[in-house]
Structure formats: C-alpha cells, structure tokens
Structure 1
C-alpha cells in the first residue's frame, strides 16, 4: 500500500448516557480545550480512542471537502496495492438534521467510494478501514478506528466495595487529571482499592498510590497485579510525602474502610499543597471553602452520577498566593 498522508486532524464520535454528559464534557475539555453539546468533535490532537470511556470511534483525516462528489474524486487517488480495505459510514448520534443520511444512502456512498479506490475490498477482515462522516457542513474521510472498552475488562476485580468509583468514572478522572501523560508524574494519595490506579496504569500514566489503611493498600496491590500491571502502592499518610508530583488525584475517603471527618479532609487538602501544583478532588460533599483554605483554586468541575449517588469532581490549581498560611490553617 502506498503511504497515506493524514492531514493532522481527527474526528471523534462519542457515546454516553445522559447522566454521563457532564463528566464526558469535562474529559473533552481536558483533552481538547473545549466541549460540544453534540456527540462529534474535531481536533488536531491525537487521542487513542480506547483511552476515553466515552469515545466511540476516531477518524484520522486524509481529506475533507464541501461536496461528497469531491470526496469520491479524491478517493480515486488511493492505491491499496496488496492491502485490503473497507469503507464505512458509521451510525452517528447527535448530528444536525441537515447532516442526517438514511441507511440506503449511506450504503450507496460507501459503494461509490469503494469502487474508485484502487485495491481489493474486504468487508469481513480488511487490512484498513476507511470512514466517512459529515460534520459542520463538510464531508470528512480518513482512517477509521473503533474504540476498545478497556475499562469494561477492569470491572471484575479481586477486591471491590460498593461505594468505590466505577471503572468508567475512574478512567475519565485519570484522563481529566492527566490528559497528556508524557513527562507527567502523578500520585493518588488516598487510593483505596486502586480503581483509579488500575485505569491510569493501563493507559501508561506514571502514577503511584498511597493509603493509610493497610487492608486497602493490600487490595490495591492485588487489583493492580490481577490485570498484569505494575505500580507502586505505599502505606502512609499524605503528610509524609516528600516527593513532588505534577498532579494528585484525591478521592475523599467516605467508605466503610476509611471515613474522613471535615477536619481530616481539610488536613488532607492542606498536605497536598506542598506535593503538587495540580489537584483533582472527588467529593460527595461541598468543599469549595476547604479547597480555597488549602491554597488551591477550582478551575473546572462537573457532577458524576452513579444511580442516585452524586460525586463532584473538582479540577484545581495551586494559588500563586495562598489565602491562609500554614499557621492560620492550624488555628482554623
């Protein structure tokens, strides 16, 4: 096959339940710097589809045109040589009414493009899949990739408890905290049984775990090992951390193993300040005032739902000038 020449652009399609929209959009903003009310987004940033629990598919763009006929014309320049191919027009929810195409018309468009591509078509096991998507008044064509639901495989853990984050939510949280893993060191200092750790490690994020409860530390290590991953989980308090990290993820303790009082929550946040410049907090209670007292400012947020159970996810950065000194926090 002759080398293909992507434009550097990508189209991503999304699938999520209405209850997940807020969390999905926060992850979008972390990845792309913006979100969309629909379920399609275009970006120059390359995100592996399997990273997000909400990305359904990705098309790496080869070309885009205002008219479908021009897509067909340009497709005639593709020479697959010995490689087989398939062309699909994926089902997309959330497209504008003007961009909706019925089933028969989609199949006809696939045939028109497939007919002009030089090479052998294979609808069952092609070497490469091409995708066609109408978006924002233009036609987009490129290399199609379906997402793999890696997080789904992590649902059955040796150690689990009912109030733990779902693997889907944990994966989104890891992405929000570390949208680009390159050169980033992360820590989960209240890691529990390691739900976030498993998702982060499976995506190649450099993250370590920590917890004050030896039972959950053992559970976290067992869960990580169960999925063939490698990661460090230490027993100890956040106050004892001496290393610096680029980001910390804190799911405030509220389960049957460890429940933090408001004073203990404030201490956890206070001790995070010397450890990291960026902080992602998961909480079931309003703690904006605690975040500010600890010396962080909230830059983004969302509500994550699990049945009737609500969690707030807060993305925070260290303030340039903390509102309170350490002495004042001890007096509070």
Structure 2
C-alpha cells in the first residue's frame, strides 16, 4: 500500500448495504485508523480504492475553496499536458441534479489549460462539494476485483464470499509492507486469492488433502501463485506477522471447543496478530488461548452472521 502523504488530503466515497456497515467500519478503522459516520472519508493516507469492496472512488485534492468561484480561480492556474475530463462526484444532497452536475463539470473543464477528451482521457479530474467547501483533484475509480474472483473453478457454499474475504484481508493486513501472512485453514483458497491479488506475501495450508488441488487451481486460475501445504496448523513451526483463520464450521468439519482452543493456541504460537472469522461466540476460548481482543465486527448475509475478531 502506498502511504505517500505528499498530497495533503484524499477523499474516499463509500457504498454498501446497511447489513455490511459493521464490517465496512472495521475495515475503515483498520485501513485509515479512523471511522466516518457518513459515506465520505477524508484522510492523509493514500490507499488504492480497489483494495476495498466498499470504497467507490478516491480524489487526491489539488485545490479547494469555500465557494465554486474561488475554486474555479485556482483551477484556471492548472496546465495539463495530457488529455483530460472532469467528473462531478456526488455527496448525496438534493441539489445535485443531473443538469447541475454537468454544468459544473463544463465550468471547471473550461478553466483548465489543456485538451479535454470526454471519451478516452489520459487523466480524470473530480470536482466535489464536501464538508462545507469545494474540492478539485485527481480521480480514481475503484475496480470490483473481488467480483471477478467469484468466477473460480472450485467453490464451497459455506466459504466466505469474495467480498467479505477481501475486507477480512484488509482488516488483517492494512499495510502489507514487509508483512508475512498465513491462512492455516485455507479451504478452497478464497482468502488467499484476495490477498495475493493485492500483492500480499501469504501462504496457505489445510489438513484436508482432498481440497488442496482445487485450492491451487483456484489460485492459478487468476494468474496468481503461493505455497499451499497439506499440514495441520498445530504442526506449523514457521513464524508469521499475521494469521487469518476462518474457523471450520460445516457439517464435514465440526470441531469441538477443545479443538478450537488447540487451533487458536497454535495460531498464537505462530503469529503476532490473528484475525478470526467465526459463526459462534468464542471470546472465552480466545481469552483462554492468551489473546487480547482489540476490535471486531459482524459480517451478515441475510439471517446468517459471522463475527470477525481482531486479536493480538
């Protein structure tokens, strides 16, 4: 993740369903160290919007003013060597009609010293009215990478959705620089695919040899690669910065509280930070395993809920 702060402010807009809000907010706290009660977040941190399943777009602020006219004066000083276009980013107010947005786009575009190209611009700018002032800056739209990962050769009905898996990876590894991670109960590889697609150094393992060929095929299907071993996590001896554990819970892998404790004690022995995904309450087991619970969220899908718990 690029955490370059040469540009003073980045503005991120968010989208998502209400039952995703808990997970979205935990991801936001993990990535940015802050939380917004609205669908707009301002931060000095530069994060690729395509990392998150919830971020829609990012504006790197170049100019800002208390009024549109003040902003236009600043924009008029900008010289652009590439072709460009200007987009109006909505803040959700009733005044933002289609006609008003197009009119403001034209006004701003006419002030820029450069060649406009609506169809195939080399650079996209955004204009937005946010938190009481007007801003202008470079625009990046999020790509739904997780959505493409739904189309994989092998899947389980009980596996994490690619959308939730991507958020869980961001919660576990907000800054991948120098981080070595493991998914020691990797199953069919949903978490591995999301992490690898973000350039994260991660390995996987599982104690079910019947699924690992499918796991490796899923990873290779997207042009990715990582080590995937047939090993029980209780036998892992290597050390990692982070472990992501989606506790087994389907009919084929029912585990007792004692087995859960063994798994979590093993996780504490191999990783400094552990993010656990569970369908049942495990706070007592986590504390017994020696963990401190530092944050949490609920990931809902209809009536089905998982808890995402961050431990150290």
Q: TM-score range by the shorter chain?
A: over 0.9
Match of 1:25 in 2: 25
Distance 1:152 1:257 in 2: 27
Gaps of 5+ in 2: none
Tell me the alpha carbon deviations over residues 210-258 of structure 1, each in whole angstroms, 9 at most, x when there is no partner: 1100012222111101111011111111111111111100000012442
Distance 1:34 1:312 in 2: 21
Match of 2:153 in 1: 158
**Displacement of 1:106:** 1.8
Q: Secondary structure at the match of 2:216?
A: helix
Distance 2:230 2:116 in 1: 56
Distance 1:245 1:89 in 2: 44
Q: Secondary structure at the match of 1:120?
A: coil
Match of 2:78 in 1: 78
2:305 corresponds to which of 285, 310, 331: 310
Distance 1:218 1:291 in 2: 31
Match of 2:165 in 1: 170
Distance 2:211 2:253 in 1: 9
Whether 1:120 aligns to 2:115 is yes
Distance 2:54 2:113 in 1: 34
Distance 1:10 1:119 in 2: 24
Match of 1:190 in 2: 185
- Number of paired residues? 308
Tell me the alpha carbon deviations over residues 130-155 of structure 1, each in whole angstroms, 9 at most, x when there is no partner: 00112211211100111111100000
**Displacement of 1:6:** 6.5
Whether contact under 8 Å (1:163, 1:255) holds in the other structure is: yes
Whether 1:219 aligns to 2:218 is no
Tell me the alpha carbon deviations over residues 156-177 of structure 1, each in whole angstroms, 9 at most, x when there is no partner: 1111111110000000000000
Whether contact under 8 Å (1:159, 1:220) holds in the other structure is: yes
Distance 2:8 2:210 in 1: 47
Whether contact under 8 Å (2:90, 2:128) holds in the other structure is: no
**Displacement of 1:103:** 2.5
Q: Secondary structure at the match of 1:79?
A: coil
**Displacement of 1:300:** 0.5
Distance 2:87 2:55 in 1: 17
Q: Secondary structure at the match of 1:208?
A: strand
Whether contact under 8 Å (2:91, 2:130) holds in the other structure is: no
Q: Secondary structure at the match of 1:215?
A: coil
**Displacement of 1:64:** 1.7
Distance 2:293 2:105 in 1: 47
Matches within 5 A, 1:223-262: 223-262=218-257
Whether contact under 8 Å (1:301, 1:315) holds in the other structure is: yes
Tell me the alpha carbon deviations over residues 287-323 of structure 1, each in whole angstroms, 9 at most, x when there is no partner: 0000100010111001001222100000011xxxxxx
Distance 1:64 1:256 in 2: 56
Distance 1:57 1:259 in 2: 41
Whether contact under 8 Å (1:13, 1:40) holds in the other structure is: yes
Tell me the alpha carbon deviations over residues 97-140 of structure 1, each in whole angstroms, 9 at most, x when there is no partner: 7xx53322222211111111111111111111100112211211
Match of 1:323 in 2: none
Whether contact under 8 Å (2:91, 2:129) holds in the other structure is: no
Match of 1:88 in 2: 87
Whether contact under 8 Å (2:86, 2:125) holds in the other structure is: yes
Match of 1:41 in 2: 41
